[in-house]
């Protein structure tokens, strides 16, 4: 596949995503003269990977068969929740289109209550090549700080987990194809998702009823949970920024070791791990917008990513 073919393929994904109801951001070329394989800006595609609901009746919907065409799969089954006996049925939908939520509202029987029980909020950075997807993943690990997460990033296989001890957290991997690829044309991507698995997480994200999924503010969701930062050009400088002492009396080797201790095999430096160990650094780094970070990653622009 040539670079022009990959560009057309990503454009087709954008058109297909809009027609199917997925939320995408406009694709922008990075121009010519860049590294081979990184000519197109990764295309962010927002969607719900999984959504779960509880209903207060065993048969909450009529004519639900038509909803199957608007998602990858849907499961409706009886459920018994000891601490919430009101809920009698669980609805789980996988990779629904935006139209699915409106269609579900129309299929509900009158006076049936349906409440959100869980969600996996996803953003895929659709790329021109597997190498670009891996690069986006590594640059995200290097420059992203996930707010309200106090767990070190763990690497299990080819997947990075910002938390495994709690019910929710960020998950990132780059070895699978985009789940909403154009049929017959699978596209590499860096997949990111935040799993919301509790009333507190769902409410904080503004997800309560079916209608909330229709009006979901994707940009606000990601902006409130992830920050991106530029890093100093060398390890010693980053270590000195993290030193809580008023005078940097530690050796350069100590500072470099701090950075190495925050790295993971196969992916390199992880900002989250470094900031958890050395909290003083968080207020001393230069913040980047998500859009500027992605542009700089695409262009391999070290003037933006490092200073």
pLDDT at 280: 74
Give the separation between CA 298 and CA 292, rounded to whole angstroms. 10
Give the separation between CA 20 and CA 15, rounded to whole angstroms. 9
The number of beta carbons lying within 10 Å of the beta carbon of residue 210 is: 19
Q: How far is CA 44 from CA 86, 112, 269, in A?
A: 39, 36, 23
Q: Is the pLDDT reported for residue 44 higher than 60? A: yes
Measured in whole angstroms, how far is the alpha carbon of residue 271 from the centre of its chain?
16
Q: What band does 5 get if pLDDT is binned at 50, 70 and 90? A: low
Q: What percent of the chain has pLDDT over 70?
A: 83
* For range 249-266, the mean pLDDT: 79
Give the separation between CA 275 and CA 241, rounded to whole angstroms. 11
pTM for the whole thing?
Answer: 0.81
Give the separation between CA 21 and CA 99, rounded to whole angstroms. 6
Give the separation between CA 98 and CA 301, rounded to whole angstroms. 35
Q: What band does 22 get if pLDDT is binned at 50, 70 and 90? A: very low
Give the separation between CA 26 and CA 14, rounded to whole angstroms. 8
Every domain of the chain and the residues it spans = 3-227, 228-305
Identity of the highest mean pLDDT range in 11-15, 166-170, 217-221: 217-221
β-bridge mates for residue 230, sequence order: 286
Q: What band does 292 get if pLDDT is binned at 50, 70 and 90? A: very high
Q: Which of 43-52, 257-266, 289-298 has the lowest mean pLDDT?
A: 257-266
Q: What is the pLDDT of residues 60-113, one digit of tens each?
A: 988 888 899 999 999 999 999 888 889 999 999 999 998 999 999 999 988 899
Q: What is the pLDDT of residues 190-206, one digit of tens each?
A: 999 999 988 888 999 99
Give the separation between CA 87 and CA 55, rounded to whole angstroms. 5
Helices and strands (H, E) in the chain, number of each type: 11, 14
pLDDT at 245: 64
Q: Which of 36-50, 88-102, 118-132, 242-256 has the lowest mean pLDDT?
A: 242-256
Backbone angles phi, psi at 237, to 5 degrees: -65, -40
Asked if 38 and 132 count as a contact pair (C-beta separation under 8 A), the reply is yes
Q: What band does 235 get if pLDDT is binned at 50, 70 and 90? A: confident
């Amino acid at each position: 596949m040539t670079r022009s073919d990959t560009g057309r393929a990503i454009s087709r994904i954008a058109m297909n995503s809009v027609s199917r109801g997925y939320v995408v951001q406009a694709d922008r070329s990075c121009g010519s003269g860049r590294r081979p394989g990184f000519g197109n800006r990764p295309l962010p595609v927002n969607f719900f990977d999984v959504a779960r609901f509880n209903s207060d009746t065993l048969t909450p919907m009529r004519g639900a068969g038509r909803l199957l065409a608007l998602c990858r799969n849907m499961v409706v089954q009886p459920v018994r929740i000891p601490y919430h006996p009101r809920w009698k049925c669980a609805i789980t939908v996988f990779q629904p289109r935006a139209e699915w939520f409106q269609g579900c509202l129309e299929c509900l029987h009158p006076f049936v209550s349906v409440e959100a029980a869980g969600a996996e909020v996803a953003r895929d950075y659709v790329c021109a090549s597997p190498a670009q997807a891996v690069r986006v993943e590594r640059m995200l690990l290097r420059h992203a700080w996930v707010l309200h997460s106090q767990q070190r990033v763990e690497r299990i296989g080819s997947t990075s987990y910002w938390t495994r001890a709690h019910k929710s957290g960020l998950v990132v991997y780059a070895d699978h194809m985009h789940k909403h690829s154009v049929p017959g044309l699978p596209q590499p991507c860096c997949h990111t998702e935040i799993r919301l698995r509790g009333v507190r997480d769902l409410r904080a994200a503004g997800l309560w009823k079916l209608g909330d999924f229709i009006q979901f503010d994707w940009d606000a969701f990601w902006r409130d949970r992830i920050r991106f930062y530029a890093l100093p050009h060398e390890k010693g400088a980053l270590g000195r920024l993290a030193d809580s002492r008023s005078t940097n009396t530690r050796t350069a080797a100590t500072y470099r070791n701090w950075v190495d201790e925050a790295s993971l095999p196969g992916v390199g430096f992880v900002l989250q791990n470094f900031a958890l160990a050395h909290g003083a650094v968080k207020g001393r780094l230069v913040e980047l917008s998500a859009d500027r970070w992605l542009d700089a990653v695409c262009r391999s622009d070290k003037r933006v990513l490092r200073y």
